[in-house]
Amino acid sequence: MSGFNKDWLALREPVDMRARANSLVEQLSQHLDGIERPKILDIGCGTGSTWRSLAHRFPGHSEWQLLDYDPLLLAEAERRIGQHQDVSFRQFDLNEIDSLPLTEVSVVTASALFDLCSAEFCDHFAEILSASNTGLYAALNYDGVMEWSIAHPLDQQVAKDFNQHQHFDKGFGPALGPDATAHLKQAFERLGYSVSVATSPWVMGRDDGDLQAAFLEGLEQPLSEIGSLTDVQIRDWLGFRLEKIAEAGSSCVVGHSDMLALPRH
């Protein structure tokens, strides 16, 4: 339903885990330590990757609600996390943002979500969180960087086209894509929050070959929709890139960034 499938999310999870900026997780964990019974709302939870990455770093008595609009991903999250008295699941479409269940929520978490969202959505979302004095941890938003250790003459054009495609509507209006973190930072700073940002790049080598291949294959449609490269150029570039994955010393960096916005009081 959402266009994200559990196999893709499973492939990226270990690389996401090591990419997350540790400093922000520590800062958030300390913030939650000072709260009697922290309540965390994870939006766009997919199969529960944020919970698996963070729950063991947060105070043990934290309560989590995981929310996604895709029933298949939510069912997979429930299956993988299992029965846990402190974790609940809810099907919810973020386009209904005004009724987001924020009562007593200490912090909203989201991973790989806001680059899909529009500027208008993020501004409104920031106002809603500010009205209830709630923090936001927004991790793993794509930042526009795509680099390979072994160069190909079309790499820059591919990155430019993909970054343009990242602004296409992903269900929330024109998407922020690579501008998501900068936009969120400004929105929350305007509202008086204390905001920290850190990079969280995927650095993929031969051992991440399956994720590299899936990522590359996922570029074909966006590149062809932008249309500045011919189908033959796209196929040649993809063929070259897929072949290089297994080569010694070959690596690929896909840039992301994380943001933590906490109310000042």
Tokens of 19: 């990419």
Burial of 15 (0-12, 13-18, 19+ CB in 10 A): buried
Closer CB to ligand SAM, 50 or 62, in the complex: 50
108 makes contact with ligand SAM (CB under 6 A):
no
CB closer to ligand SAM out of 11 and 261: 11
CB neighbour list of residue 159: distance below 8 Å, 6 or more residues apart? 144, 145, 146
Report helix, strand or coil for 107: strand
One-letter identity of residue 252: C
Write out the binding residues for ligand SAM, residues 185-244 only, by CB under 6 A: none
How many Cβ atoms are within 10 Å of 93's Cβ, its own excluded? 12
Minimal distance, residue 66 CB to ligand SAM, in Å: 9
The one segment of 57-65, 106-114, 189-197, 230-238 that binds ligand SAM by CB under 6 A = 106-114
* Residues 157 to 196 in contact with ligand SAM, rule: CB under 6 A: 171
Rounded to an integer, what distance in angstroms lies between the CA atom of residue 247 and that of residue 250? 6
Q: Confirm or reject binding of residue 76 to ligand SAM (CB under 6 A).
A: no
> Up-side HSE of residue 116: CA atoms within 13 Å toward CB?
17
Which lies closer to ligand SAM via its Cβ, residue 88 or residue 95? Answer: 95
Q: How far is the CB of 16 from ligand SAM (least distance, A)?
A: 6
DSSP annotation of 175: B
Q: Pick the piece of the chain touching ligand SAM (CB under 6 A) from 65-73, 118-126, 154-162, 196-204.
A: 65-73
Which residue is it, tokens 């960096």? 253
Quick note: the x/- pattern for ligand SAM over 109-148, rule CB under 6 A, is --xxx--x--------------------------------
> In the window 16-45, what residues touch ligand SAM (CB under 6 A)?
44-45
Residue span binding ligand SAM (CB under 6 A) among the ranges 68-76, 223-231, 239-247, 251-259: 68-76
b/e burial code for range 33-52 (CB count within 10 A of at least 16 → b) = eeeeebbbbbbbbbbbbbbe
Q: Binder to ligand SAM among 9, 66, 234, 262 (CB under 6 A)?
A: 9
Q: Which of 25, 40, 49, 161 is close enough to bind ligand SAM by CB under 6 A?
A: 49
In order of 118, 128, 180, 210, the CA distances from 186 in angstroms are: 14, 15, 10, 36
Query: Which of 15, 25, 39, 46: binder of ligand SAM (CB under 6 A)?
Result: 46
Is there binding between residue 87 and ligand SAM (CB under 6 A)?
A: no
| CA 85 to mean position of chain CA atoms | 26
Measured distance CA(201)–CA(184) in Å, rounded: 18
In the list 58, 69, 89, 193, the residue contacting ligand SAM (rule: CB under 6 A) is 69
Residues of this chain that interact with ligand SAM (CB under 6 A) are 2, 4, 9, 44-46, 49-50, 68-70, 73, 93-95, 111-113, 116, 171
